[in-house]
Structure 1
Amino acid sequence: MYSCTKKKPVLLAVPIICSLLMTGFLVQFASQVHAVTNPTHHQGMDAPRIDEYDIFRNDRRVGTHVVKRLRSDDRLVVEIRSRISITLIGFELYRFHYDAREEWDESGLLSLSVKVNDDGKPAALEGRRQDNEFQWEYGQMQASSSMPVYPTNHWNAAVLDHDAVLNTLTGKINKVNITRDVTNSSLQDIDLTSATRYRYEGQLQLSSWYNDDGDWLAMQFIAKDGSVIDYRCSNCKQVQVRE
């Protein structure tokens, strides 16, 4: 896990990364909720789908984020991979690896596995649905929540209709208020003029963009040091932000 109090003065990136992955990731419009939470109804899942994102800090590329979706029998398997590297004059000062695997069926999230290597410090989360409850372990902590449960991996737009997410970096449920943002906004290198911007407030604060198909296109938030962090899809269909 990230330590927001790490004492590496040159590494302003540490609190940034802490904020970055604390933000959690996933969402879809109400009309697409059934399709997302019921994988057999999701369009285009006969072959693997891979969405790739670049991660930027103040418009400087610092990492990559990949979401791979594959239908296996009656389940949807989603694999998420993040790699972040902070360098200074050619030397790597900080490294972050994040790997997650989700399984979904007709009843929602079935299982979740997360492995993190935060600059040499490992952490892991393992969870599985039992009846109408999702149970998980994070380190020495055991916790549970009634269904539905949405991990902070952002690909699933169904989270837009809910007020809580499972933070995969802390193992805790975060309360959020997600609202449609009517203010216009754009990101460099990605055309968002027919997407809709949503704002998270509460224990997570960020803006995230989705198109009418529920595809996650971009995310932006302010890190603790005041820098701007962007996730920008590099291979999604480019559309525009709708007010």
Structure 2
Amino acid sequence: MSVTSRRSFVGGLACFGGLSLGGVRPAAAGIELVAAYPEILKFAVTRDGAPLGVVMERFGHDGVGATAEVFIDFKVTFAGLALYRYEHRSHERWRDGRLFALDSVTNDNGTGQAVSARARRDGLHVEGTDGRLVAPADVLPSSYWHPRFVEQNRMLDSQRGRILDFEIAEVGPETVTALGRPVDCTRYAMRGDIDLDFWYDARRVWQKMSFTIKGSFIEYTRVAPGPADHARFGAPLRDGRRVPVA
């Protein structure tokens, strides 16, 4: 899931090591990586309690490693008029527990953005809106699902293709509502280039996220996916672009 800077409305929206990979054969490691997750992880997103949109992540494997797809669709309206639209699609491929490839496209209220990242011997080569860079080979993308995410102090912004730095502190145990029922979780606070709080359950499955941006309180609440949600992952952005999965 992508993130933007705190200067943007969707800053922090996206908008993921409790599962050990030790002893797992390389071909199966990526598959094991997402084993704790449902096929689709879905969040209803609100802004000051009013519906803003949806964030979804779909997990699978391609026979070699794990895959994760991200779908984000936000709309701010006033008096029935759309004042702001945000769309993001990304596709991640994982090999031996590390990000092997990432492709994303974003429509930020009419501004198109794209990121392409590929693993090479010297690190993850990234090309995005902010130019080119070589990220550390073990960097995680800004989709928040990875069980090792709470141990990080940097991530790859999958909307712009830059590195964001932060610190994560464990706040403590809390019970949140997810899938319409109470779920025991651990709360974490991220502070740095982006500020937000998020909750993972005992298996480090992402259950909730919240933050304040420009005076608005944004909250992600986990909900059950519906029958039509699979098809939404293949939908193009409003400008017609799709994720160019290699």
Coarse TM-score class (shorter-chain normalised)? 0.7 to 0.9
Counterpart in 1 of 2:224? 235
Counterpart in 1 of 2:91? 101
Q: Which residue among 138, 152, 156 is the counterpart of 1:162?
A: 152
Is 1:34 the counterpart of 2:21? The answer is yes
Q: Which residue among 148, 166, 170 is the counterpart of 1:176?
A: 166
Question: Which range moves more in the overlay, 112-121 or 180-189?
Answer: 180-189
Shift of 1:227: 1.4
Q: Which residue among 13, 16, 40 is the counterpart of 2:9?
A: 16
Per-residue CA deviation, residues 107-160 of structure 1 (Å, 9 max, x unaligned), is 410000110011111010001000251001013611012220101111112121
Compute the TM-score of the two structures, normalised by the length of structure 2: 0.79
Shift of 1:203: 1.3
Q: Which has the higher helix share?
A: 1
Shift of 1:50: 0.7
**Structure 1 gap segments, 5+ residues each:** 6-14, 237-243
Distance 1:119 1:43, change over 3 A: closer
Distance 1:93 1:142, change over 3 A: same
Q: CA RMSD in A?
A: 2.9
- For residue 115 of structure 2, give the secondary structure of its aligned residue in structure 1: strand
Q: 1:87-236 counterparts in 2 under 5 A?
A: 87-139=77-129, 141-182=131-172, 184=174, 186=176, 191=181, 193-223=183-213, 225-235=214-224
Shift of 1:38: 3.0
- Identity fraction in percent: 20
**Structure 2 gap segments, 5+ residues each:** 226-246
- For residue 18 of structure 2, give the secondary structure of its aligned residue in structure 1: helix
Contact 1:85 1:94 in 2 (8 A): yes
Distance 1:188 1:216, change over 3 A: closer
- For residue 169 of structure 1, give the secondary structure of its aligned residue in structure 2: coil
